[in-house]
Structure 1
Amino acid sequence: MPQSGSFEVIFGNLTTLGELCGLISYGSRDPVFNDRVQFPSFYRTVPDELSEIDGIVELIKHFGWKWVGLIVSDDEIGLRAGKHFEREMKKDGICLAFNIRIELGSIASTDPMKTREILNRSTANVVVLLVSLRFVGYILFFFAMFDMPEKIWIVSSTFLRVLDTAYPQNRIIFNGILALSIQQGEIPGFREFLHGLNLSECPDGILFPDVSERLSDCKLPNAIKTTPSGTNISLPQCTESEFFQEYDLPINETLNFRISYGVYTAVYTMALALHKLNMKQTRASHPDRRERQHINFKQWQLNALIQSKDFEMTSGYKIHLNVKKDPSKYYEIVKCFFSEEGGVQTVKVGSFDISRPDGNQLSVNSSADLWGPYFTKCPPSRCNEPCTPGHRKSKNERKPPCCYNCVPCAEGEISNTTDTQSCIKCSENEKSNKEQNGCIPKNINFLSYEDTLGATLSFISFLCTVTCTVILGIFIKYRETPIVRANNRYLSCLLLISLMLCFLCTLLFIGRPTQICCLLRQVTFGIVFTISVSSVLAKTLTVIIAFNATKPGSKLKKYVGTQLAIILVIVCSLVEIVISAVWLASNPPFPEADTLSDPDYIILLCNEGSGFFFFCIIGYIGTLALLSFIAAFLAKDFPDRFNEAKNITFSMLGFCSVWGAFVPAYLSSKGSRMVAVEIFAILSSSAGLLGCIFVPKCYIIFLRPELNIRDTIVRKQ
């Protein structure tokens, strides 16, 4: 192929050498020759150039680089390699930081200052250089013009000519490059041949002057050079002992060749194929004779033999020319160092073999010096700083996918790795910590006796219970006095006992919710409050009946007494008991852990089971309280010194106000505050009844005993 500069091994018909039967190339790497329809007889001993790009992409993936620069030559080979490289990178989420095309021989079209500015400004620490062979010399000159920033350079095999560069600046810029190189191998017997050459026997050989300079750092006496020296340094004369004996060429490697080994492989492959074909036809046509004058080969015979046989070279290396694939897609990854003295060292640091299964194609020696001389460890190559744990990546619409913003995780979500795409939601029983990089158990929330609020409410409940007990004891002791006997002393004692139970039932709301507490607390509260409010209603109706019964001809005289009041209390309480029984039978309350209402707490509460029945109880108690308020309001002006109607009016007014405000406050609260609202409503409404109805009586008993006599019960008109 003209552009590759390769030597093609071509064998035709052995009789005429006119018909093209097979072609094996050691240097043509154009992927167009992979088309077996157009090129059925084309083979090569080196892989195509696109497989080399795949190796570079795998190397970039291996080190986790996401932001990579690209420089290509502005010709068919460079542009094709650049497009394939960009396409393969996109599959793995790798982005191009920049894409520079360098044109041959036109400094103006590709401004070196602009290129230097791009390299300096870019945050990409890795630059891939893909150029064709004819561009290498120009690009070396191009980069030798200015100082360039320190980068990790990854180059294709064609750019290994940098090892022989004459520009000192190149030896600084490209010091430590990583390069993919085609497979090398030892040519059997070449060492002995090279060291056995005798200069005296080949005095006029045109090859020796150039080779001697490279191998021995000396020149032959009286030799005519065909190639000008790369330097102007005058070399000493060689002696026979110096020539090819003590020196090796470090760049081209006299024992392990790359391009030359490809030529050797191509020649021997075709030679062995022809030899086998010759032997086969000889045995088939003339089994008794070993000689023939004319041997004719057909193209298909040679193709079939090459494609189906393993040719083992004298070195033990097997090469297989497949109809669909190249014989080898193996690359060595080498690291190249330039010493200050001008020497060059190449170190194999890995390999890339496409014939292996996916995931095992790339092998990198991690113990080798991969990052010297300018880096001590693997340098990052990113568009921006990585997102730390506790943050996630957010797409930036104006930039490539590798450029992104970092936003904190939402409440209740975490990220414990860098550059995470999305945050992880904590479980229902966990919350995110302050840094949002880990989940921690949520705090358990319920109204506890250890809490200040719980302890305060329980103390108030206990104090009100003691107060209620003391007042009950006072009423029992002074049960025969007019102030106690008025308005039915039995209802007063029943009301005091029910209020005492109202204060005590609040203790069921405090503490860790259990199944028993959840079943009992709302039902107990509903029943005892119904008894209390129905007792107040009965006391009010007793006052109304008593005063109306004194009118002449009144039919209410037969209802005067305690029997009606007790029946009223029992009937009202039975209605409440029936509602509670239906509630418990159909949809009873149960303990529940609420993990959704508050992101920081697990709220332990009692699920009421049915909100309908709960508000039925509240509504029923409120209805009784409203009836008591209306009745007491109508009887507040009756002419009796010990008339309780005014006190009951104020108590029911306070009662209705408390429970009217309870509903919106309860619905807008959550957690322990919801329970505290209900406890406060129970305590305040019960304390209102106790204070408005019984405190005035105790005042008369102890501080105004002169009023607690029968003569003062009825006012004088």
Structure 2
Amino acid sequence: MEQKLQEEPCVQEELPAPGEMAVQKEVQEEKLELPHIVSKNADYRCGQQLKVKNDFGMSENIVIGEFVSFILPGFQEFAYNTPPTQKMSDRILLNYYHQVLVFVFAMNEINKNANLLPHSTLSSIFAQNANNEIGTAYGTMDLLFLKHGSPINYMCGKSFKLMAIIGGLTPHNSKQMPHILNIYKMPQLTYSSFDPSLSEKTQFPSVYRMIPNESPQYVGIVQLLQHFGWTWIGLVVSEDDSGEMLLRTLIPQLLQNNICFAFKEILKDPWRVSVQNEKTLERISYLSTKTNVILVHGDSRSMEGFRIILFFLEIVKRKPIERVWIITAQWDFATVLNSRAFTPKSFNGTLSFTLHTNYVAEYEKFLETLNPYQSMHYLIPQFWSRAFGCAFLTYKLYLPGAGFCTGEERLRSLPGTEFEIGMSGQSYSIYNAVYAVAHALHAMLSSRSKQKAMGDGATRNLLNIHPWQFHSFLKNIRFNNSAGEEIFFDKNGELAAGYDIINTITFSNRSIHKNHVGRIDPQAPKGKQFTIHRNAIVWNHKFNQILPQSTCVESCHPGHSRIVRQGEQICCYDCPQCSEGMISKLMDADHCNKCPEDQHPNKNQVHCIPKHIIYLSYREPLGIILASFALFVSLITLVVMWIFIQHQNTPIVKANNWNITCTLLIALLLCFLCSFLFIGQPGKVTCLLRQTVFGIIFSLSVSCVLAKTITVVLAFMATKPGNRMRKWVGKRLAVSVIILCTLIQTGISVLWLATSPPFPEFDMHSKRDQMTLQCNEGSVHMFYTVLGYMGLLAIISFTVAFFARKLPDTFNEAKLITFSMLVFCSVWLSFIPTYLSTKGKYMVAVEIFSILASSTGLLACIFLPKFYIIVLRPELNTRDQLVKKKNCGT
């Protein structure tokens, strides 16, 4: 039987192919003469012998089949029990004819390449489908039987070998074909089907997808919406497996990124939706007014009814839906099934995700030089006739009233909606599929050549290899195509590639311009996987090139946070101002953030700025006033001291115990000067010295006053006859009182410094926009112990002086001391509540004022009367006057 098949002459059939039958039927319905079509395409049949010989002296002609879909019967479906004989409105989708042209272009390039398959020739075979179960099954079997109706891979004269099939266009085709091809383990490379089930290797082990996984597209949609700040979008999705996958996968990602839906429209059966249905039209028109951005997902078959609705709204109702349309890669919306259903206003400025493509210069040259009389490609006369409205007499294709095709017509002159010059994403996928098969075949041939060189007797020529042996080479291919991109499959048998983002500009003459504005590339480094060139985007004319906004409410500006309205979606919210001390830097911030302690919000609560460091400075008015007053009273003290030194031998100075007086003046001078420890920037040393030096010096001052008072009292008591107090009168008692009282305060201060010394710190909280550099007292108890001891000495001095106030004025200072202690105690009693009620530098100013006021009180009350007598009334500063007053007093 095999010998008979080899010797039997082969007859080339003249019957039209299934696709030609569809075209013939269409022409007949249009009452055109089509008596006969002679096919001169690339369907290699029996009797075509090639001269390329292998090492065994036999011809090797490897066949790659392509399952094309560009003659579609209105996208109608037919059940298995209904033959497709009913009246159909067949149309050639001109843009889809790229399936043939790019396939032939790639085959020609490979056959001309001396380095790729040098001892074999690739041949092509095509099958057309009717986009239904019967058409898909028939076309698949036709490819397997090499269009002979013979057993699988029947080879006339053993010259042909089918090794792979590329196709089909829709998920409907691509999912139906593997059920037949899996029986023979025939590799199938799909170039346009996004059905995720095809990635299941258990169910479809022989399927290789020349398109990427859908996951990067979903991520890209989210990133695109986030990039432009679109959080309120509409969604139109087809009711099929692909639409269900999008709803299940994309919607959670959108909601997770705070992107909500103004509406969701699921197209159940678009071909049964009448364009005259007012409810459908009004619903679509009304829903579109809720947002400026609409995401559309579905394949060309399911979305064509939706396009007709938009066409009816724009052309008939004069209500174009001018929005930012975001189209997924599943719908090639620029390819119009009905050339009249063109919506230039609605779809102008559309952003669409498409299969990744690259520029192949030779392909454009191939298209520009295409001539139907010179290129015998599959159904090219029918394509040319449909594209340019001309007739072919040579091919028995005659259109009454139309001119004859000259072959000089150029494809570039066709509108972009009918035929696109350049390599689309779908064409690029087919181009890479053909090269993937060629490189896998080359790898297999190279491997078998090595086996032959090693003496493997099992080595056979390529025509004796079964398709299932081809899989291991195909799944591991990795090569660079002519555009310089690396092509390889991932572990799921999908092309490791991404998506392009295309901005489509439409014109009223049905021409379009596609502008590449972005890319989704999962293979790129992290952070560069999503790119968008927003300045290159041309928006719909409705927006006047202003970036469209699409939010439920106006975005919350920095300085505010958003609070979701009760019972509404997360994208609908209010924008309250951040509370005091809080900021928000971003638009639509979820919450406000607290500034660091050393910073505070600016006026708009947008940024944190460093707090201004404040302390009682010599440069500010308050510091200048206090420092000036301290210098002034210090100068007065020096003057008083100088006057008293000059008149130390006068009676009034001698009568008031010159030694104690001199010690008191020095102590007062030091009190005035210690106030300078409180002015200026606090440091570690100044903080240690401030309160301790102040406490010790003031204790010394009050001790001197107490010693002076005790001395006066004892002096008067000693003047009485028989009084035993005479022995206590003298310098020794006064010095002992001063030293003892001062040492006690010194001991308290030393204990304070040893246990919990003061230290500089920043007060961050007293002022909103300032932080005060101040001295932390370390131990508050020790601080108030120092003040308490000083107050105790003052009270004792006041009490003793009060009881001695009736002694003769000339010889005693009891009244002056009483009054000075009264001023001293009044100042420090008022100091405590005032000190506790103030913060920051004003607390320091209160203490300085108390120091200066109390010291000035002592200076004025004790020394001013004597200064008056010494300077202004020297006649009173005599012994006679003192004795006279004494006698008067007694």
Counterpart among 207, 215, 237 of residue 402 in structure 2: 237
> Cα gap change, 1:503/1:95 in structure 2, threshold over 3 Å: closer, same or farther?
same
- Which residue number in structure 2 is paired with residue 459 of structure 1? 628
Letter in 1 for 2:509: E
> 1:21 Cα deviation (Å)?
2.9
Partner Cα separation in structure 2 for residue 539 and residue 478 of structure 1: 19
Partner Cα separation in structure 2 for residue 317 and residue 526 of structure 1: 85
- Which residue number in structure 1 is paired with residue 348 of structure 2? 175
Counterpart among 228, 234, 240 of residue 69 in structure 1: 234
- Which residue number in structure 2 is paired with residue 22 of structure 1? 186
> 1:620 Cα deviation (Å)?
1.8
Counterpart among 284, 293, 307 of residue 126 in structure 1: 293
> 1:128 Cα deviation (Å)?
1.2
Counterpart among 488, 502, 509 of residue 334 in structure 1: 502
- Which residue number in structure 2 is paired with residue 215 of structure 1? 387
- Which residue number in structure 1 is paired with residue 831 of structure 2? 662
Counterpart among 332, 337, 341 of residue 160 in structure 1: 332
Q: Deviations over 1:284-306 (max 9, x none)?
A: 999899799xx795x85454454
Q: Deviations over 1:470-498 (max 9, x none)?
A: 54455556666665555545434433343
Letter in 2 for 1:527: I
Letter in 2 for 1:138: G
User: TM-score of the superposition, structure 2-length normalised?
Assistant: 0.65
- Which residue number in structure 1 is paired with residue 92 of structure 2? none
> 1:259 Cα deviation (Å)?
5.4
> Cα gap change, 1:302/1:695 in structure 2, threshold over 3 Å: closer, same or farther?
closer
Structure 2 residue 493 is matched with structure 1 residue 325 = yes
Number of residues paired by the alignment? 700
- Which residue number in structure 2 is paired with residue 139 of structure 1? 306
Counterpart among 742, 748, 759 of residue 579 in structure 1: 748
Counterpart among 323, 343, 346 of residue 151 in structure 1: 323
> 1:674 Cα deviation (Å)?
2.1
5 Å-filtered alignment, 1:223-622, equals: 237-241=402-406, 249=414, 250=416, 251-253=418-420, 256=423, 297=466, 300-301=468-469, 303-304=471-472, 306-308=474-476, 324-327=492-495, 329-354=497-522, 359-362=527-530, 368-371=536-539, 373-374=541-542, 375-376=544-545, 378-388=547-557, 391=559, 393-396=561-564, 398=566, 400-402=569-571, 406=575, 418=587, 431-437=600-606, 442-472=611-641, 475=644, 484-486=653-655, 488-513=657-682, 517-549=686-718, 553-583=722-752, 589=758, 594=763, 597-622=766-791
In structure 2, runs of 5+ residues without a counterpart are 1-66, 68-76, 79-130, 153-179
Partner Cα separation in structure 1 for residue 482 and residue 675 of structure 2: 99
> 1:681 Cα deviation (Å)?
0.9
> Cα gap change, 1:91/1:418 in structure 2, threshold over 3 Å: closer, same or farther?
closer
> Cα gap change, 1:579/1:265 in structure 2, threshold over 3 Å: closer, same or farther?
closer
> 1:378 Cα deviation (Å)?
4.5
Q: Deviations over 1:262-303 (max 9, x none)?
A: 6788789789989999997999999899799xx795x85454
Partner Cα separation in structure 1 for residue 648 and residue 443 of structure 2: 134
Letter in 2 for 1:396: V
In structure 1, runs of 5+ residues without a counterpart are 227-233
Partner Cα separation in structure 2 for residue 431 and residue 39 of structure 1: 63
- Which residue number in structure 1 is paired with residue 243 of structure 2? 78
> 1:311 Cα deviation (Å)?
9.7
> Cα gap change, 1:602/1:272 in structure 2, threshold over 3 Å: closer, same or farther?
closer
- Which residue number in structure 2 is paired with residue 229 of structure 1? none
Partner Cα separation in structure 1 for residue 571 and residue 421 of structure 2: 45
> 1:621 Cα deviation (Å)?
1.3
> 1:617 Cα deviation (Å)?
2.5
Partner Cα separation in structure 2 for residue 361 and residue 508 of structure 1: 63
- Which residue number in structure 1 is paired with residue 128 of structure 2? none
Partner Cα separation in structure 2 for residue 289 and residue 224 of structure 1: 45
Counterpart among 708, 713, 716 of residue 886 in structure 2: 713
Partner Cα separation in structure 1 for residue 676 and residue 665 of structure 2: 18
- What SS does the aligned partner of 1:170 have? coil
RMSD of equivalent CA atoms: 5.0
CA contact (8 A) 1:218 1:236 kept: no
Letter in 1 for 2:507: S
Partner Cα separation in structure 1 for residue 826 and residue 293 of structure 2: 76
CA contact (8 A) 2:678 2:690 kept: yes
> Cα gap change, 1:248/1:612 in structure 2, threshold over 3 Å: closer, same or farther?
same
Q: Deviations over 1:184-222 (max 9, x none)?
A: 6888998599624389x99xx99856x345421445689
> 1:36 Cα deviation (Å)?
1.4
Partner Cα separation in structure 2 for residue 75 and residue 684 of structure 1: 91
User: TM-score of the superposition, structure 1-length normalised?
Assistant: 0.79
CA contact (8 A) 2:595 2:608 kept: yes
> Cα gap change, 1:635/1:96 in structure 2, threshold over 3 Å: closer, same or farther?
same
Partner Cα separation in structure 2 for residue 291 and residue 674 of structure 1: 99
> Cα gap change, 1:684/1:276 in structure 2, threshold over 3 Å: closer, same or farther?
closer
Partner Cα separation in structure 1 for residue 593 and residue 462 of structure 2: 81
Letter in 1 for 2:805: K
CA contact (8 A) 1:648 1:692 kept: yes
Counterpart among 843, 846, 870 of residue 674 in structure 1: 843
- What SS does the aligned partner of 1:37 have? coil
- What SS does the aligned partner of 1:241 have? coil
Letter in 1 for 2:373: L
Which deviates further from its counterpart, 323-332 or 649-658?
A: 323-332
Partner Cα separation in structure 1 for residue 669 and residue 607 of structure 2: 50
> Cα gap change, 1:218/1:622 in structure 2, threshold over 3 Å: closer, same or farther?
same
Which deviates further from its counterpart, 558-567 or 242-251?
A: 242-251
CA contact (8 A) 2:614 2:771 kept: yes
- What SS does the aligned partner of 2:202 have? coil
Partner Cα separation in structure 2 for residue 212 and residue 173 of structure 1: 30
> Cα gap change, 1:286/1:278 in structure 2, threshold over 3 Å: closer, same or farther?
farther
Partner Cα separation in structure 2 for residue 310 and residue 640 of structure 1: 118
- What SS does the aligned partner of 1:172 have? coil
- What SS does the aligned partner of 1:101 have? strand
> 1:173 Cα deviation (Å)?
0.6
Letter in 2 for 1:152: V
Partner Cα separation in structure 2 for residue 268 and residue 597 of structure 1: 75
Partner Cα separation in structure 2 for residue 288 and residue 456 of structure 1: 109
> Cα gap change, 1:476/1:318 in structure 2, threshold over 3 Å: closer, same or farther?
closer
CA contact (8 A) 1:177 1:335 kept: yes
Q: Deviations over 1:320-341 (max 9, x none)?
A: 6666222464544433332223
Percent of paired sites with the same residue: 35
> 1:359 Cα deviation (Å)?
4.6
> 1:240 Cα deviation (Å)?
3.4
Which deviates further from its counterpart, 500-509 or 586-595?
A: 586-595
> Cα gap change, 1:465/1:221 in structure 2, threshold over 3 Å: closer, same or farther?
same
- Which residue number in structure 1 is paired with residue 286 of structure 2? 117
Which deviates further from its counterpart, 366-375 or 680-689?
A: 366-375
